[in-house]
Amino acid sequence: MSLKKKIILGLIVVLIGIQFFQPLRNQSGEVTDMHIEKVYAVPQNVKAILQISCYDCHSNNTRYPWYSRIQPGAWYMAGHIKEGKEELNFSDFGTYSTRKQRNKFRAMSNQIRDGKMPLSSYTLIHRNAVLTQEEKQVLMKWFDAMADSLK
């Protein structure tokens, strides 16, 4: 067997091997009392956008697509979710201090305005998570109003 064949075979074995090492799934399966929807009255149109475009990485419940089990993509995804939840976790929003909540609302509004969120690497695959101008306005208006109410 040539060296090239051996390498290819080896790679295939490694690829198959890592499929057995799946990261923990980010699915608590419940909406806790500290979830933003329990703490604040989130308008229906805002909620709908949050669910589609934000919660996958910023809550304790990710809706995983079928291919999310394929490694090493699952690791990459798990890393993103971990990072996302550290920055902002809608499932824990009620545990944040008022100051932190206010600043998170402001930061969310800025991120949406600047088009930094949702991440382009996320919307590349999740096309329905791309925000229209209208949806951006809906979010920013609500985020700004919430930030002002927490002064």
Residues in touch with other proteins (CB under 8 A): 1, 6-7, 9-11, 13-14, 17, 97-100, 103, 106-107, 110, 113
**3-state SS track over 8-49:** HHHHHHHHHHHCCCCCCCCECCCCCCCCHHHHCCCCHHHHHH
- Residue 51 Cβ, how far from other proteins at the closest point, in Å? 25
CB of 47 to other proteins, least distance (A): 25
CA distance 128 to 147: 27
From the CB of 13, what's the least distance to other proteins, in Å?
5
CB of 84 to other proteins, least distance (A): 15
Is the distance from CB of 38 to CB of 32 less than 8 angstroms? yes
Distances (CA, A) of 116 to 87, 91, 96, 112, 147: 14, 21, 23, 6, 19
The nearer residue to other proteins, 10 or 73, going by C-beta atoms, is 10
Please say which residue, 20 or 66, places its beta carbon nearer to other proteins.
20
Q: Which is nearer to other proteins, 15 or 48 (CB)?
A: 15
